[in-house]
C-alpha cells in the first residue's frame, strides 16, 4: 500500500517534469523512468543522494559522471565500481540505472553521440572486477585532465 502510494507520488512528480529534455532521451534508451528511479532509490541513493550530489566522501555524479565516458576505460569503470557491480540489480536493470543517471544528472558532459549501456555490455564489464576503484578513478581523472 505504502509502496504504491510512493510510486504514485513519483509518477505525479515525473509527469510534472514532462518538459524535461531528458524525458525523450530516456524513452529513446527504452528506460521506464518510474521503475528505474525506484531502483536507484533502493540501491544507490543511500550513498549518492537523490540528486547525485553524493553524501559525505562519496564523489558527486551530478554534472560530472558523464565525463568518464570521454576516456578509455571510463565506460567500464562506471559499471565496475563496487556500488554498481555488486548491487543486486540484473544487468538490464543496472544498464537502465546507469543510463538514467547519465541522462538525468550529467547529460551535458556526455560524449555525442551517447551510446546507452546494454545489458550485454554491463554483463561483460561485471565479469571483470575492479581491483582498486580509487586508483582507477584517479587514473581516469588524470587522463581527463590531459584532454
Q: Which of residues 30 and 83 has its CB atom nearest to ligand HEC in the complex? A: 83
Taking CB under 6 A as the rule, does residue 84 contact ligand HEC? yes
For the purposes of burial, counting CB atoms within 10 Å of the CB of 31, is it exposed (0-12), middle (13-18) or buried (19 or more)? Answer: buried
Contact criterion met (CB below 8 Å) for 127 and 62: no
**Residue 97 binds ligand HEC (CB under 6 A):** yes
CA neighbor of 94 nearest in space, from 126, 71, 66, 132? 126
Residue 99 cell numbers, joined? 543510463
Distance, in Å, from the CA atom of 39 to the CA atom of 52, rounded to the nearest integer, reads: 14
> Of the candidates 36, 43, 99, 104, which one interacts with ligand HEC according to CB under 6 A?
43
Q: Among 21-29, 80-88, 105-113, 118-126, which window interacts with ligand HEC (CB under 6 A)?
A: 80-88
Q: Which residues bind ligand HEC (CB under 6 A)?
A: 43-44, 46-48, 58-59, 61, 65, 78, 81-84, 87, 89, 97-98, 133-134, 137
Amino acid at each position: 500500500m505504502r509502496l504504491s502510494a510512493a510510486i504514485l507520488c513519483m509518477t505525479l512528480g515525473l509527469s510534472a517534469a514532462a518538459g524535461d529534455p531528458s524525458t525523450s532521451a530516456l524513452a529513446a534508451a527504452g528506460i521506464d523512468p518510474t521503475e528505474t528511479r525506484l531502483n536507484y532509490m533502493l540501491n544507490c541513493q543511500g550513498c549518492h543522494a537523490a540528486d547525485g550530489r553524493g553524501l559525505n566522501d562519496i564523489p558527486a555524479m551530478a554534472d560530472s559522471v558523464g565525463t568518464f565516458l570521454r576516456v578509455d576505460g571510463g565506460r567500464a569503470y562506471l559499471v565496475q565500481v563496487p556500488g554498481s557491480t555488486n548491487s543486486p540489480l540484473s544487468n538490464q536493470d543496472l544498464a537502465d540505472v546507469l543510463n538514467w543517471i547519465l541522462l538525468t544528472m550529467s547529460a551535458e558532459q556526455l560524449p555525442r553521440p551517447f551510446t546507452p549501456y546494454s545489458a550485454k555490455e554491463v554483463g561483460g564489464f561485471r565479469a571483470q572486477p575492479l581491483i582498486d576503484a580509487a586508483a582507477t578513478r584517479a587514473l581516469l581523472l588524470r587522463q581527463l585532465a590531459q584532454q
